[in-house]
Structures are given as structure tokens and as C-alpha cells.
Amino acid sequence: MMIKYDYITFALTLILVITGMIAIFSATGAGATDEQGYFLRQLIWAIVGILVMFGVSFISLRFINRFSYWLYGISMFLLLLVLMVGKAGQGAERWLVLGPINLQPSELAKLATIMAVSKFLADKYADVNKLKYFIISVALILLPFLLITRQPDLGTGLVFLALIIPLLFWAGLNWFHIFTIVTPIFTMIFSFNFWTFMVLMLVIALILAYSRKKPIIMTAVFLLNITVGILTPYMWNQLRPYQQQRIMTFINPEKDPKGAGYQIIQSQVAIGSGGIWGKGYLKGTQTQLRFLPAQHTDFIFSVIGEEFGFIGASGILFIYLILILRLIKISSSIRDQFESMIIIGIATIFMFHIIINIGMTVGMAPVTGLPLPFLSYGGSSLLTNLIMVGVILNISRHKFIH
Amino acid sequence: MNELTRQQLKQRKIIFNIFVIGLFLVLFYGFFTIQVAGRDKYYEIALDNSVRELIQHPVRGTIRDRNEKILVDNRPSFVVSVIPRQLSAEKLEDLAQIINEDPEYIREKIRGRHTFLPVIIKRDLNYQTIVKLEENRLNLPGVLVELESKRFYVDGVLSPHIFGYVGEVTQVEASRNKDFLPGEMIGKSGLELKYDTNLRGVKGVHFVKVDAEGRDLGMINLERNIDPIPGMDLYLTLDYSFQQFAESLMVDKRGAIVALDPRNGNILAFVSKPDYDPRQLAGRIAPEIWYKLQSDTSHPLYNRVTQSKYPPGSTYKLVAAIAALQEGIITTKWKAYCPGYFRLGRKVIHCWNTKGHGELTILPAIKHSCNVFFYKLGLKIGLETWAEYSQKFFFGQPTGIDLPNESAGLVPTVEYFNSRYGPNGWTKGNLANLAIGQGELLTTPLQMAQFAMILASKGVVHNPHIADYLYDAQHDERIYFPSKINYVQGISDEVYDLIREGMLNVVHGGTGWRASVYGIRVAGKTGTAQNPHGEDHAWFIAFAPYENPVIALAVIIENAGGGGAIAAPLAGLCMEKFFYDRILPRRVAMKDTIQVDSLESAIRIKVDAIPSLEISSPDSI
């Protein structure tokens, strides 16, 4: 008798991990003796990770549920610890050294935060549309965000911000509240031009007028947007030029062709020169001759684009798409809110990493240093991602049993 | 625990799916635009990224004489280069010590070039330095000893004014010709400059695969490589053993000898002294040597044959004689009286023979080079006619020899005098002076040799040239240069015959008797040019044999004295060597020996084998 298990999710994960191993092998010198270490180390992490994934998928769900707050507490403590005694890696302190293993607590914090928020909002009396529950759940997310951006690791920090809306929406946050959260962000962006700002304000006013909310609430939301719109350019001008520069480079890296712009350009050249069919495995000139920066970590997808072409790249993109859609499907078929929210949280994190990382390789997203799930070199990241898949397999296993 | 309704879940699922699919479509679109639509553009960039062009320099063509004897060849020269990425600061100090340069000099050379591409530090290393570098090869990573070729002059070869020299391209030259690369070696003067394009050959390109740091990964794409085309070999019209002989006559003298073949304009000898050893300017030119050559007061860098301008002295009397006879101003019977001096206004000018030549006609006047006769003749001819005939013989303009920077000389005309002295500022005295080849008139030795050629061939002017042909080894083919012929217009055969007879008399019993050669009828004219720099310049122009000339030459020795005493013997020796390929025993020695009879048979005229040209002036055709 076949064991009831989510073989599809498992298979998709396995394909991605194997693709990652193949790409890392190519990106780190194709077995050249001095760089073999990368491939072998990643292989060990992959094997360990898959074993751990299996383990996690058989843990009692009740235990996971109870353990949520503890895990959150532990990971916040570790993040604080990193700020105090962390090891510098590329100018930012992200690592904790535990004997022979370097840990990146921000990876663990992702899962812990999802679990904590899910548990908090899955409570029988919890209602996300009530201010108290709303503020507490947002605070649960903002705490790791602030700790991580202090490291400083803005990219990983943004992953947490990206969690807010999908998680709360899945928990039942109504559209007006989402509207209230989202509009100030648009206002910030639009406030730099007077006419776009005026048009946006008009649209907001119209939507508010049809919302049938209390006038005082409508006025408050409208005033909030006006205030944000006026303050943003003022705050921008208060920034030092180098701070403005840093933000501009983050938004538009091609303005800095020697730094982040160089990476984008070389990555585009690698992917573009791959053409439809690619240059063939281990035959990418950009990859093999080291024109690609960070090609085994952040730019691993450029290696696939160059050596396997449009066919290979869209194939992997398609597998990612299937995986995300499958997670949404599982999530929407589960009645238990805690379990459902965990899956949607994990899907959001995967989605954010995929879009930002792959978008970056073709110049559609800024360079943030976010790894690509399952493919990028890096033990902490791979292990965390596999643990998250383990949690999903665990939940889906129960779903099939019910 | 909260339970979610089916309705809620379905609605949220749809919204999420739309978001996810939408974002993925954007990514698919991004990959489509750069991988399918933009593939070619990025493929080009990727190629440029990883393939570097290495310029291959061709070997310069050799220069050979008419007997195909190599005169200028190439030899390997050693160059030390460094790979900036691999050279540590400490090793840089060691290298500086070995090549005997300041470490700052090396740092300056590699400043801002943090690559794997070698940068040349010093050219033309001496043997000890190469040995030291090789001994320390393992201790000096990033230091390369590379081969280059530099000019090599075969033993006994000098003639720097013919060959010129080769040097590194300057910024000015590089801006004028886009084909020149920094550090490339190009011809700077002489034949090396004139035929630079042919001698230099064509650069090739090798495509080398490199990584992101510029490290050489070995050759790729062999079919795309273009090999350099070696330069063509240049063959000269002269026989270098004759050239060497002519040069040996001029050792320790200042002046020039230039000999031409009047049948075709071939240069047979081309001597400018003092000169320098061309080996000094091969490869790296030491600044102190360059400075020494430039500041030397005897101007060894100056090509006296084509660039120096001298008053021609009495050799130029022939022009006045031709003008007067052709224009019918005088006949062969016209006589003038030479008392040894000539009074012009309040000035008295002396003939070189202060005793006076007495009454003479034109032929004896040429033979004895009487100044007074030609003063009087000059006044009769007038400046305009004199200048017209000077220009007919191509004085005052470059001959067009295939060497750069030729000087035009100067033929003063009425306009010239008017603009220089004002319409009334010059007198008949100026004209009288010009008639005997003094005054403002200036000619180059090459122009004088060309004049001798015209008289030898009765008006046919073959453009003087020193390069015979180029040999293109690629196509095994000789490339000859189109020959240019000019004719001196409007001078009759009778005039030529008379002048030629006068010149024959000069060598046979006249002022130029020292130029006579046993068994050969030589025609010539002496000249003794006064000049502001001291002693007179000794001139002699000649052609031989009289009936069918095969050589025409001009000799000038600066500040040496009389043309008959100083220049004529050298011209005689040159012709003796040319016709007999050796120097004959002196007649003085022969008188007492019994070998007088055998001498006749011993002398075999070499030029019999050369087919001679029909001599005719265009007017008689």
C-alpha cells in the first residue's frame, strides 16, 4: 500500500534541488580541484536537508502548533545575538558561528514569524479586523523586520514586510483595511510629482466616497494619505546625498555601472547570449570565464539562462509556478486556519524570493542579495527552505488522512 | 480554533492565483525579450567579453643591393615586459635593480593597468641583463622576456643616409595614421620612411580566449586568426661594393658623391659624409647618442646629397654657355679677352688665373674655366634668359628621387631679386656672379649629378631613383616602379656636342685632368665654389665614356680647395673602380717596368657587356 504523501510537492522540490546542484557544479569551476569544495558542501547540505525535511514532515502537528511561540522567541533572541556578536559577511553581520556551522538566524526567523502570526490569528477569539489583533500581528512581523534591517540586510527584511498583506488577507482582513494599508505606499511613490499625486488623491477620494464608511474614518484615511504625500518629499530632502544615492541605486542599479549595474549587465549578457537553446552545459562563456558575479549564489539563475537557454530558464520558471500554485491550492483546501496560513506564508516567502531574485537577473528587479530558493548555494537557506517544505508535507499528509 | 469557509477560501485562492500567474508572466516576458529577441546583441557582447585581439607584428622587409646581397636585415631583440597583476611590489624592486632602472620608472609604466596583459618595460636588453633575468626567472613571477625584431646591418654596411632608421611611432604620427598602434616601429627617414608601407608589411590578429580578469586561456578560433603578412624586400639599383668604395674615398672628409646611370636614372653611388653608424639607431635609441648626433657641428644626420645646398661654382658655367649658344647670343667664334681681372663699375674682380688667359673663344674658356670670359658672357645673356635655362635643366626644383625631404635648391630670378633687394637694389654684378655659379644660386649634389646625366644623354632625364623593385614573397612577384622620363626642351644637338667637347677637353689637358681614367674618354667640369664658411668647396661633375655614357656623377668636398685638385681625382678613382672594378697601378710606376705591354691586355673594360642606349635629344627625333 502506498503511503499517503504529497508526492507532487516532494517531486517538484527534489527537481529544484537537483537543478541547483547541477548549476552550482557549473558555476564553481565544473569540478576543478580548487573549487570542488562548494559543490560537495552543498551536496552534504542537500542530503541533510532532505533528511530533515522528511523528519519534519512526520512531527506531530500539535507539537508544531504549541512550539510556534517558542520558536519565535528563540529566533528573535538569536537575531539580537547576531547584532551583538555576529560574524561579518560582506559588510553585514548575518552569521552566528556555532562550532563548525555558520547559522543565519534570519532564515529561521522567517518560518518562526509565519508560525507565530498564524497561531496568533488562528485563535478562536482572534479577529484580524479588530485593531488590537491587527496591531499585534503586524508588530510580530515588524520586530524581525527591524532587527534584520539593523544588521543591515534590507533585502531579507523586505521579505517580512511582504508577508503582512498576504497573511492578514488570508486571515480575513477586509478589503477596506487592506486599502488603508496599501494606499500610503502608493502615495509615497506618487508624491514626487504634483500631478500624479493629485490624480491619486482624486482616485482615493472617489473610492472612499463609495465605501459607505463613517465620515470620520473616511476623513482620517484621506488625511493620512495627504500627510504622507506632503511629508515624503520633505523627508527625502532631509536625507544626506549619499543616503539618497543608496536608495536610488537600490531602485535603479544600472545608474551605477561599476557596482550593482555591472552585475546586472553581465547577468543580462549571460542570459541573453544563451538564446533559445542555450550554449550547452559547462559551455557558457560568461559563467565559465567568471564574468558573472556571485554566480553560484545570487546569480545562479543566470547560469541556467546561459547554458540552457530560454527553454531551460522557462522550464525552471514553470516548475516554480507549479509549486507556488500547488501551495495555494493545498492552502485553500485546508479548513484549519493555522495550517492554511502557514502554507500561504511559506508560499509568499518562496514567491518573493523567486520574483526578486530571477527578476534581478534580467534587470527587472533591484539587486538585493536574496538567494533563489533551492537553487542558490548556501546551507542555511537550503536547510530552511527544505524544513518549510517539510512543514507543508506534514500538513498535506494530514489533509489526505482526514 | 478558527475554521475558514469554503467560499472564503475559493475567493482568496483566485485572487492569489491571479497575482502569482501575473508576476510569472512578467518574468517569462523578461526572459523572452532578452533571450529570444535580444539574443544576437548579447551574444556579441559575450564574445567581446571573452575574446581578446592580440596584434601580431610582421617582420620588416630586408633591403638588398642589385646583386641581391642583403644589406639591412632583422635580428631578434629582447624585451622585458611585466604582467601587472602578477608582479608584487617587492619583486618590482628586484626587477628594477636587474634592469638598472628606477623602481618609480616601472611603477609609472604599469600605473592604472591592473591586468594580465603584458606591459613592455624596456626594449633591446643587453646580454648580461637577459642572463640575469633568466637566472632569476623563478624568483620573478609576472616578469616576461619576450622577442621582438630589430634592424640589423650586415658587417661593413653603413650608408645611413640611404637606409634611414626605424623608430617607435610618436603621438603625432599615430594621430595622422589610424593604422599605427602605440609602440609600433615605423620608418623615420631614408628608404625606411619612403617605402615604409611596403617594408612594414601588414599586421595580423590572433584571437585569444581570456577570463574576466584577462588571463590568457590559450588560443581559440584558429580559423578566425589572421596571420601577419611580412614586409616586402626592397632591391636597390646600386652595387654595394661600389658604394663602399665611394664611401671609402670620403673618409674623414665632408661632402658628397653621387653617381647615376644616365641610361635609366639608377643611382650607382650615394655618399654623404660625415655620417654615423646606423647600428646606433637600431632598436632602443640611447638619448645621449641621439643628442650627440644632433648637436655635432658637422651635421652627420644631414643627407648632403639631397638636402645640402651649395653654390655650384664653375661647373655652372656650362649653363651660361648653353644659353648663350642656343639663343645665338654668341657663336663659337666669339672671343673675349681675359687680362686676369674684370672691372665692373668701381669693383675689380679677378680671374682664378691672375696672369690672365688672354683672348679666348668658348671652348678654351670651358677648358680653362676662365672667369672673365663668363663674366662678360653673363652680362650679355641677361638674368631672364639665364634663369630660364637654369630651370630648363631642372635646377631650383627637387629631382624627385625616392628619398624623403629633398631640397629644391634656389635659382634666383628677376622676381626673386626684386622682392629681395627691391627693383633697383641689385646690379649687373649679381648677374656676373651667377654666370660663374656664385651668388644666390644654390644646388644640391644630386641636381648636379642630374645635370651631368642630361649632358651625357643630350637632354633625356631619367628620374633618379635608388629603389629598383620590391619583392613580394607572398605572391613570388617583383614589383617595379613606373619609370619617369623627362626631356630638356629646345636645345639643339650642335650645342650639346659643343658643350660635351668642351667637357672632354676639361679632362684631357684642362682643369680636370686629374679625373682621367686609363682607356676611357671622360668628360667633366671642375668647380671651386667660394662660400662664407671658409675654404672653397671643391666640385667636379663628369660622365663617361664620352660616346656612350654609362655613368654620370657629381663630387663635392666641403671647404677643401680647388675642384680640379681635390674633387677631380676622387671622381677619377670612382670611374676607374666602376669600369675596371679595381684601382689600376699608377702610370708613374708603369714607365720603368716591362709590364707596359701586358697592362693593355690586363685591362678589360667591364661595361662592354652593358647594352648602351642610343643617345639622341628629343629635338632630333
**A66 vs B: CB within 8 A:** no
User: Is residue B603 over pLDDT 70?
Assistant: no
Q: Which residue has the higher pLDDT, B12 or B465?
A: B465
The pLDDT of residue B118 is 72
Same domain, residue pair A270 and A401:
yes
**B32 vs A: CB within 8 A:** yes
The pLDDT of residue A400 is 56
With beta carbons under 8 A apart, name residues in chain B contacting A170. Answer: 12
Confidence of residue B149 (pLDDT cuts 50, 70, 90): confident
Same domain, residue pair A318 and A372:
yes
Q: For chain A, positions 157-186, list CB contacts with chain B under 8 A.
A: 166, 169-170, 172
**Which of A146, A168, A190 finishes a domain?**
A168
Same domain, residue pair A298 and A384:
yes
Asked if A359 and B27 come within 8 Å (Cβ–Cβ), the reply is yes
Asked if A344 and B16 come within 8 Å (Cβ–Cβ), the reply is yes
Same domain, residue pair A157 and A185:
no
| For range B221-241, the mean pLDDT | 87
Is residue B469 exposed (0-12), middle (13-18) or buried (19+ Cβ within 10 Å)?
A: middle
Task: Report which listed range, A93-102, B189-198, B529-538, B610-619, is most confident.
Answer: B189-198
Instruction: Tell me how far apart the alpha carbons of residues A307 and A286 are, in angstroms, rounded to a whole number.
Output: 9
Name the CATH code of domain B243-620 (choices 3.40.50.720, 3.40.50.970, 3.40.710.10, 3.60.70.12): 3.40.710.10
Give domain status of residue A247, yes or no.
no
The pLDDT of residue B212 is 67
Instruction: Tell me how far apart the alpha carbons of residues B596 and B600 are, in angstroms, rounded to a whole number.
Output: 7
Same domain, residue pair A81 and A50:
no
Each residue's pLDDT tens digit, B347-395? 788 888 888 888 999 999 999 999 999 999 999 998 999 999 999 999 9
With beta carbons under 8 A apart, name residues in chain B contacting A121. Answer: 2
3-state secondary structure of B212: coil
Q: Quick check: ipTM above 0.90? A: yes
Same domain, residue pair A162 and A187:
no
Q: Mutate which of A137, A267, A289, A326 to test chain B, going by most B C-beta atoms within 10 A?
A: A289
Percent of chain B with pLDDT over 90: 52
The residue count for chain A: 402
**B25 vs A: CB within 8 A:** no
A119, closest residue in chain B (CA to CA): B1
Give domain status of residue A343, yes or no.
yes
Q: Which of B2, B13, B20 sits opposite A337 (nearest CB)?
A: B2
Give domain status of residue A162, yes or no.
yes
B8, closest residue in chain A (CA to CA): A172
With beta carbons under 8 A apart, name residues in chain A contacting B31. Answer: 271, 305, 310, 313-314, 317, 362
**How do B467-472 and B185-187 pair as beta strands?**
unpaired
**Helices (DSSP H) in A194-299: which residue ranges?**
194-209, 215-238, 241-251, 260-274, 285-288
Asked if B35 and A269 come within 8 Å (Cβ–Cβ), the reply is no
pLDDT tens for each residue of chain A, 402 residues long:
456 788 999 999 999 999 999 999 988 876 665 566 888 889 999 999 999 999 999 998 889 899 999 999 999 999 988 888 755 554 445 666 665 566 788 888 999 999 999 999 988 788 888 889 999 999 999 999 999 888 777 788 889 999 999 999 998 888 888 888 888 888 888 888 888 888 989 998 888 888 888 888 888 888 988 898 888 888 888 877 777 776 776 666 666 655 666 788 888 889 999 999 999 898 888 887 777 777 888 899 999 999 999 999 999 999 999 999 999 999 988 888 899 999 999 999 999 999 999 998 998 887 778 899 999 998 889 999 999 999 999 998 877 544
Question: What one-character-per-residue DSSP string does B279-315 give?
Answer: GGGSSSPPHHHHHHHHH-TT-TTS-TTTT--B--GGG
Cell representation of residue A69: 511561540
Residue whose C-alpha is closest to residue A263's, from A149, A353, A357, A351: A357
Give domain status of residue A119, yes or no.
yes
Cell representation of residue B115: 591586468
φ, ψ (nearest 5 deg) of residue B393: -90, 20
Residues 6+ apart with CB under 8 A from B1: A122, A123, A124, A336, A337, A338
User: Is residue B219 over pLDDT 50?
Assistant: yes
Same domain, residue pair A400 and A265:
yes
| For range B182-205, the mean pLDDT | 89
Q: For chain A, positions 304-363, list CB contacts with chain B under 8 A.
A: 305, 309-310, 313-314, 317, 320-321, 324-325, 328-329, 331-338, 340, 344, 347, 351, 355, 358-359, 362-363
Domain boundaries, chain B: 75-153, 243-620
Residue B540 neighbours by CB distance under 10 Å: 35
Q: Mutate which of A267, A273, A327, A349 to test chain B, going by most B C-beta atoms within 10 A?
A: A273
| For range B491-512, the mean pLDDT | 93
Same domain, residue pair A269 and A232:
no
Q: Which of B10, B31, B212 sits opposite A310 (nearest CB)?
A: B31
Instruction: Tell me how far apart the alpha carbons of residues B43 and B12 are, in angstroms, rounded to a whole number.
Output: 44
CB pairs below 8 Å between A and B: how many?
Answer: 138
The pLDDT of residue B621 is 37
**What dotted CATH number matches B75-153?**
3.90.1310.10
Give domain status of residue A68, yes or no.
no
Residue B383 neighbours by CB distance under 10 Å: 20
φ, ψ (nearest 5 deg) of residue A185: -65, -45
Q: Model pTM greater than 0.90?
A: no
Give domain status of residue A278, yes or no.
yes
Same domain, residue pair A266 and A398:
yes
Same domain, residue pair A319 and A260:
yes
Percent of chain B with pLDDT over 70: 90
Cβ–Cβ under 8 Å, residues B430 and B441:
no
Domain count of the fold of chain A: 3
User: Is residue B551 over pLDDT 50?
Assistant: yes
**Which of A119, A138, A168 finishes a domain?**
A168
The pLDDT of residue B215 is 66
Lowest mean pLDDT among A251-255, B115-119, B424-428: A251-255
Cα–Cα separations (whole angstroms), residue B107 to A271, B133, B142, B144, B184: 39, 18, 14, 16, 22
Same domain, residue pair A103 and A35:
no
Range of the domain at A319: 1-58+255-402
The pLDDT of residue B576 is 93
**B251 vs A: CB within 8 A:** no
Same domain, residue pair A278 and A365:
yes
Give domain status of residue A341, yes or no.
yes
Cell representation of residue B328: 645665338
Give domain status of residue A147, yes or no.
yes
The pLDDT of residue B617 is 45
With beta carbons under 8 A apart, name residues in chain A contacting B217. Answer: 289
Strand partners, B235: B64, B469
Confidence of residue B115 (pLDDT cuts 50, 70, 90): low
The pLDDT of residue A139 is 94
User: Is residue B73 over pLDDT 90?
Assistant: yes
Average pLDDT, chain B: 86
